Amino acid sequence: MPKIVDHELRKSEITRAVIRSIGKEGLANVTIRGIAREGGFSSGTLAHYFNSKEELINFAFDEISKHAFARIENRVGEYQTAQDKVRAVIEELTPQVSDEHDAVISVSFWAAARQDEKLRRKFQDVYANFRCHLRDYIGEGLNTGEFHIQGGVEDEIDFIVAVTDGLLVSFLLDPDRFPAHRSQWLVTAAMSRLLSPNLAAS
């Protein structure tokens, strides 16, 4: 009787192998053979699901993005106030000491997106989604009086994205400078721009 293969499970296993390979080798150095070795597959198994390394990498990016948004939504779902929701998003986008592997993967994808138009469009969609989340929560905070901003909402969103992206690179290059307590301080500093005077003073 032929072996029944759970194709979704196999794709998930392949994705994890891709992520581990990128974390170890960097995206530029990842090969189909290396991914197969990392996951304990044959190269033929990968070829059954993906026609090229590019297709495999794009699929892995989609899976990573999907899990990142699910993690953010689960975290945000724990809170009631707009302040806590925005802070949760910023914290999820801010690297921690335990996240060096994830930081390597993120920066590897950034570099690849410069040469890969399809991947660059995917990044643009991901950032648009992040901005949409922040826009909703900041708008909620403005309506409830939790937030008070001097400029426009889009300016604040761009500031948060720029800070979290900058922290990602800085953390990767000099992780000892950004222990957990400093990362938390930086999150609080980013939040302080949004808070109404009464909440900022509390």
Q: Which residue spans within 31-162 are E strands per DSSP?
A: none
Place of tokens 């939790």: 146
Residue 186 domain-assigned (yes or no): yes
How many angstroms separate the most distant Cα atoms in the chain? Answer: 70
Question: Does residue 127 lie within any of the structural domains?
Answer: yes
Give the pLDDT confidence of 106-121 residue by residue, as tens digits: 888 888 888 888 889 9
pLDDT computed for residue 131 by the predictor: 93
Q: Which pLDDT belongs to residue 133?
A: 92
Residues 53, 31 contacting (CB under 8 angstroms): yes
Domain contains 141: yes
Find out whether 94 and 170 touch, Cβ atoms under 8 Å.
Answer: no
Model confidence at 37: pLDDT above 60 = yes
Report the C-alpha gap between 120 and 117 in whole angstroms: 5
pLDDT at 5: 61
Contact (Cβ atoms closer than 8 angstroms) between residue 96 and residue 147: no
Per-residue model confidence as pLDDT tens digits over 127-181: 999 999 999 999 999 999 999 888 899 999 999 998 888 888 888 788 888 777 8
Chain length of the chain: 202
User: Can you give the pLDDT at residue 4?
Assistant: 59
Q: In this structure, is residue 138 part of a structural domain? A: yes
Confidence at 99, pLDDT banded by 50, 70, 90? low
Residue 177: predicted pLDDT: 84
User: Is residue 191 within 8 Å of 87, Cβ to Cβ?
Assistant: yes
**17 occurs within a structural domain:** no
pLDDT band at 101 (very low <50, low <70, confident <90, very high): low
- Portion of the chain with pLDDT greater than 90, in percent: 21
38-95 tens-digit pLDDT: 888 888 888 888 888 888 888 888 888 888 888 889 999 999 999 999 999 888 888 6
Residue 2 reports pLDDT greater than 50 = no
The pLDDT of residue 198 is above 80: no
CATH number at residue 165: 1.10.357.10
pLDDT at residue 147 in the model:
92
Look at residue 171 in the predicted model and tell me its pLDDT: 81
Residue 38 lies in a domain: no
- Cβ-contact 169, 108 below 8 angstroms: no
Structure tokens at 107: 């920066």
* Side-chain half-sphere CA neighbours of 37 within 13 A: 9
Residue the block writes with tokens 């690849």: 112
- Whether 44 is in a domain gets the answer no
Domain that holds residue 85: 58-201
What's residue 1's pLDDT? 42
Query: What global pTM score does this model have?
Result: 0.80
pLDDT of 136 reads: 95
43 vs 98 pLDDT, higher one:
43
Number of domains in the chain: 1
